[in-house]
Amino acid sequence: MKAKLGELKARKLTDGTLQRGFLERSRQSARECRARKKLRYQYLEELVADREKAVFALRKELEKFQVWAKEIDEGRVPEDIQRILEDVGALKKEK
């Protein structure tokens, strides 16, 4: 039984129209695979760019906190912290 199926497949592939159809489906599958791969790489590149922006923002915030800590260690209250404390104090006074 398997031998007959193999012969049938071999005969179909030798027929020009069936072989062209097979080749076209193979080409189409390859095009779709390349398109999916391209989309995946674009997605990953966007993901990396977003993560890099987040890392940059966090480093900037860390530097700000380090400057604040240094000023506090030197006995000064940074202006930004002073404003925050005043805002919080104003909220408490309103309540």
- In this prediction, residue 12 carries a pLDDT of 57
- Within the chain, which residues score under 70 in pLDDT? 1-15, 90-95
pLDDT at res. 10:
55
Q: What is the dihedral of CA 32, 34, 37, 38, to 10 degrees?
A: -110
Q: What is the pLDDT of residue 34?
A: 98
pLDDT for res 38:
98
- Tell me what pLDDT residue 45 has: 98
Longest dimension (CA), the chain: 93
Give me the pLDDT at residue 5, please.
57
